[in-house]
A and B are shown apart, each in its own frame.
Chain A
Amino acid sequence: MKLLRVSSELGDNYVMTYDQQGNKDVISFEDNKFEIEYIGPGWREGELLFKINGEVHRVYVDNGFIVIDDETIFKVDRITETPIEQGKSIEELIKGKEGEILSPMQGRIVQIRVKEGDAVNKGQPLLSIEAMKSETVISAPIGGIVQKIMVKPGQGVKKGDLLLIIK
């Protein structure tokens, strides 16, 4: 079993556990589980067939873009593997990474609503970023204590920048 963090080119971060059971890959998120089985090459050149939770999907890898069923595309920016800490549940492992709040967008910090040491609940607004004519509120993905705030009001941030850490 491994802990994987898949970062997409869009700055999304997905934390999951990865396990191989026979010819199946079992990938677990905090609230979802996927059993993926590689069936083999498809009909067209470059096509791969996978069974995902019992359904067959056609997959291409095109210049680093993963094209699923000719409809959906996805591009990986980074994949990091973390060794599993003993004695922790999947939820705990995933949560540990979820406390790193990364900026989902390029923009400007307009307001920080918490300070270091504050206890926050899941869903509580942490700060707002302004871009594209609107203000976006970043909320806590988990409950915990604000350990460190890495940004200041008025500061410009890029997609994927670390904003704050909740433990």
Chain B
Amino acid sequence: MPPFGKVLVANRGEIAVRVMKAIKEMGMKAIAVYSEADKYALHVKYADEAYYIGPPPALESYLNIQAIIDAAEKAHADAVHPGYGFLSENADFAEAVVKAGLTWIGPPVDAMRAIKSKLDGKRIAKQAGVPISPGSDGPVDNLDEALKLAEKIGYPIMVKAAFGGGGTGITRVDNQDQLVEVWERNKRLAYQAFGKADLYIEKAAVNPRHIEFQLIGDKYGNYVVAWERECTIQRRNQKLIEEAPSPALKMEERERMFEPIIKFGQIIHYYTLGTFETVFSDTTREFYFLELNKRLQVEHPITEMIFRIDLVKLQINIAAGEPLPFTQEELNRRVRGHAIEYRINAEDPLNDFTGSSGFITYYKEPTGPGVRVDSGVTLGSYVPPFYDSLISKLIVYGENRAYAIQAGIRALNDYKIGGVRTTIELYKWISQEEDFQKGKFSTAYIAEKKEQLVKYLKTKEQMKAALAATLYQRGLLKKATTASNSGLTQTQTKRSNWKTYGLMQQSSYRVMW
């Protein structure tokens, strides 16, 4: 018997599709919601039913609590899964779901309120015996106060939005002038993304690793920690590549964290999934608490790969009142191999990771042993400029780290996306770079390697353009010089009687937009 009849997924893109896969596998119906910009999105096509919730800006659609509740009622949904981002950590939304008589697939509302902001999380971490970084105890009211406090704890500092996640409204600040410059901007960005403008300050750890632990709890007070994920390769405080387990930790180091993390869960009577984010210093071997993410993480698949469990199904079962299916010892025994996730973002690494929106005009996903792709796009999809640039995730698995990296390089070479710029080429370089291969890196990795990276990417780009010029000049490129590009080209290629390429030739596409 499936735990619910219909589950509404209050999200978009790859995570909506991923959650729907679990819903379908469990024999339930998946309900999508979509904004004007996502009318033709993959998550809408993939769902059993889909409901319109408003105009493109997130504040009017994916962050519009009433519109989503109305859609859930219209669909006669039994439960709501929020994915990550948007309203996933919003206690008001969780409460509205419960009040509407639906099951909230997430932590209990009271626990969400108890750690509503990252600042509450720090307070409880202290109580549970987890070390925390020095900084403000509450939101900092104004710039003057921020300047005073920064002076007191010493630069560099991190200016962070108290609400939300995904690196938005988080900036490292090295001096007074920078602080003046970013303060108002971060307030505005935080408000636009999360509807709350509170900022706080924390001393920045210099070149740490970013390691997070996966807490899983049920409604009966049972907890396990599904080890950790290494999320150190980042840009602008957003993760790019994650792996599990961390190449930096010894068994006793990871196990040392289990008890305080579980204690944290017990203090606030937490259940379902929670991710305990920390910075870890290679030299002192200490973890410092950053925040508890009260939702499914973007990088959950790498944990799924090494434990061979399905975290989304687990979330759904826990929400339905099922007890945890394993103990810590059983879970520890399940660990096999190594997994890496590459976040495929529609952005330009050569241009400060500028978002790149547009139509996907060429799309070929990698397949084969040890390869999993969680994608929110396909050929003909539109990547709107209104939301996050993450379009898909490439997850690779190997029996050890070296094999996983080999699978990664092969799969990245097989992954081809046209129409938007992506981070694929960047990851090819990183995967073959010596320090990455040795597992020696900090959160400053991208910044440290910037020069070599830019040189590689630029040469690669110029080579493509130079080759295009040659093909054109020598008359080998006839069809490519169109006067304008309105997204997708409609092509009529003659097919010979015996040849069927798996390329775009058979897909004459038309997208109404």
Q: Which A residues are within 8 Å of any B CB, using their own CB?
A: 4, 6, 8-10, 12, 14, 16, 18, 20, 25, 27, 29, 31-32, 34, 36, 38, 45, 48, 50, 52, 57, 59, 61-68, 70-79, 104-107, 129, 131-137, 159
Contacts and interface: CB of A to CB of B under 8 A. Distances in A.
B168 interface: yes
B466 A34 contact: yes
Contacts of B389: 132-133
B148 to A, nearest CB: 27
B348 to A, nearest CB: 7
Nearest to B354: A136
Contacts of B462: 14, 16, 29, 32, 34
Contact of A134 (B236, B420, B421, B489): B236
A131 B468 contact: no
Contacts of B192: 133
A129 B354 CA distance: 9
Contacts of B386: 132
11 contacts: A14-B462, A18-B469, A27-B466, A71-B414, A72-B425, A74-B468, A76-B472, A78-B483, A79-B472, A131-B355, A134-B236
Contacts of B472: 6, 76, 79
Contact of B464 (A20, A64, A68, A137): A68
B485 interface: yes
A133 B476 CA distance: 41
A79 B419 contact: no
A105 B356 contact: yes
Nearest to B499: A45
Contact of B485 (A20, A77, A131, A136): A77
B465 A9 contact: no
Contacts of A18: 469, 473
Contacts of A27: 466, 469-470
Q: Which of A16, A64, A71, A107 has the most CB of B within 10 A?
A: A64
Given A38-B470, A159-B357, 15 more contacts: A9-B419, A14-B461, A14-B462, A14-B466, A18-B469, A65-B418, A65-B504, A75-B361, A77-B481, A79-B481, A107-B355, A132-B347, A132-B387, A134-B189, A159-B358
Interface in B251-274: none
Contacts of A57: 467
A115 B176 CA distance: 26
A64 B460 contact: no
Contacts of B465: 6, 8, 12, 14, 16, 74
A131 B383 CA distance: 12
A63 B489 contact: yes
B383 to A, nearest CB: 9
B193 A66 contact: no
B447 interface: no
A66 B413 contact: no
B189 A135 contact: yes
Contacts of B420: 10
A106 B385 contact: yes
B143 interface: no
B471 interface: yes
Given A73-B418, A137-B352, A48 B470 contact: no
* The 4 A-B residue pairs with the shortest CB-CB distance in the complex, in nearest-first order: A132-B355, A14-B465, A74-B464, A64-B480
Contact of B459 (A25, A32, A59): A32
A47 to B, nearest CB: 12
Interface in B487-507: 489, 491, 493, 499, 503-505
Contacts of B284: none
B180 to A, nearest CB: 15
B283 interface: no
B467 to A, nearest CB: 6
Contacts of A67: 416
B469 A62 contact: no
B123 interface: no
A133 B168 CA distance: 8
B67 to A, nearest CB: 20
A77 B357 contact: no
A51 B420 CA distance: 28
B469 A16 contact: yes
Nearest to B464: A74
A74 B168 contact: no
A38 B351 contact: no
A75 B480 contact: yes
Contact of B419 (A10, A16, A32, A132): A10
Contact of A16 (B388, B466, B477, B484): B466
Contacts of A31: 458
A12 B482 CA distance: 15
B362 to A, nearest CB: 6
